[in-house]
Amino acid sequence: MKKFFTLFALAAMAFASQANELTVADGTETIKTVPIYGMYVDWNGTMGQMIYPADMLADMAGGQITGVKFYSPNIKFHDTTLQLSLKTVSQDGFETAEVITGATVMSETTPAQGDQEMAFEFNEPYDYEGGNLMVEVMVTNKGSWATTEFYGIATENTPSMYLYYWSTWGDPSTDTEAFLPKATFTYEPADVPVDKTGAPTFNGYTTVGIHAYFVEIIPAETSTIYYRYKCDGGEFTEWATYDEILSFTTNGLYVVEAYAEAPGKEQSDVATYEFEVSKFTSIDEVAAGKQVAGVRYFNMAGQEMQQPQGLTIVVTSYTDGTTSSVKVVK
């Protein structure tokens, strides 16, 4: 037995997004050059560029990245402003230490001296559709320098490169690294719409010689059906799981409601069926567009009987050529 409003709320939650975290290149090896070369943070323009492969970031595909964080045993430089930029690229590494241009600036931060995390929180989210992601960290306001290491993993290719200035008179120096710094991406996952289950339909009918009205609820697909009903304008019953054909013997005007829920899908729309049980209920009634052509009675051993007696299987045939069966007690 389930409450309709509870299931409605759960279905709505399928569309709600929530912030997630994805940590990649999680290792205990350390390096001093990427994501930033701490010895040269006293020169503006010093930078590191790291390419994280698409399969490593697959959980974020279609979502929005809202922050990136790197890890260090102990950040030793201070008063240094760092700018983080992102760009989706086709290459998976650096064959030569050539800087990738055109990245989108996402955040700036000044890491605290002695801190173990270097976190960048974005002012606006970055739409990540998937693919290799280049993360760039650049000095924009130079500070004091010191050797600072960052955690990460060694790699077979060279997914990282770094650029640094050691003099105001010389060209920058560049080199590549077979290393990816450990990083945690904060992101909002893509909204994944959930398919709706097909709504059930009804087949209602009466049988000769029995003062009852039978309602069969037919699923549109493999699913669990829940139903409730009310009579003569009263209150609805609690939602219950539908297992077998329903029978109604008390006179009155009935309303039956039903919905279905298939695995991995949103619940269906609620279907409604109305009918009346009265002393005039007979074989001549037309129910749900069907007219009864004849009725046969069988006991539980499959032997046909002239009249229902005890636990009886009532087989009803209709003028459209279809049949239905129901167990009744007479």
Q: What CATH number should be reported for the domain holding residue 286?
A: 2.60.40.10
CB 97 within 8 A of CB 48: no
pLDDT of the residue at 7: 35
* Same-domain status, 22 and 170: yes
Q: What is the 3-state secondary structure (H, E, C) of 151-201?
A: EEEECCCCCEEEEECCCCCCCCEEEEECEEECEEEEEECCCCCCCECCCCE
Whether residue 10 is contained in a domain is answered as: no
Which of these three, 127, 156, 188, is where a domain ends? 188
The dihedral formed by the CA atoms of 17, 18, 23 and 24, expressed in degrees to the nearest 10: 10
Whether residue 317 is contained in a domain is answered as: no
Question: Is the full-model pTM beyond 0.75?
Answer: no
Domain membership of residue 114 as a residue range: 18-188
CATH of the domain at 158: 2.60.120
Number of domains, the chain: 2
* Same-domain status, 210 and 184: no
**pLDDT of 27-57, one tens digit each?**
999 999 999 999 999 999 999 999 999 999 9
Query: Is omega for the bond preceding 35 within 30 degrees of 0, making it cis?
Result: yes
213 or 307: whose pLDDT is higher?
213
Residue 329 confidence (pLDDT) above 70: no
Backbone angles phi and psi of 57, in degrees to 5 = -110, 15
CB 104 within 8 A of CB 89: no
Whether residue 41 is contained in a domain is answered as: yes
Kindly report the average pLDDT of the chain as a whole number: 86
User: Which residue bears the tokens 């609820």?
Assistant: 217
* Same-domain status, 55 and 135: yes
* HSE-up (13 A, CA, CB side) for residue 254: 22
pLDDT-derived band at 16, boundaries 50, 70, 90: very low
Backbone angles phi and psi of 4, in degrees to 5 = -65, -45
* Same-domain status, 209 and 171: no
Residue 278 confidence (pLDDT) above 90: no
Handedness of CA 272, 228, 246, 222 (dihedral sign): positive
pLDDT of the residue at 327: 60
Report strand pairing: 290-298 vs 286-287: antiparallel
Dist CA 80 CA 98 (whole Å): 24
Dist CA 261 CA 299 (whole Å): 35
pLDDT-derived band at 190, boundaries 50, 70, 90: confident
pLDDT of the residue at 169: 66
* Same-domain status, 173 and 214: no
Whether residue 13 is contained in a domain is answered as: no
* Same-domain status, 278 and 230: yes
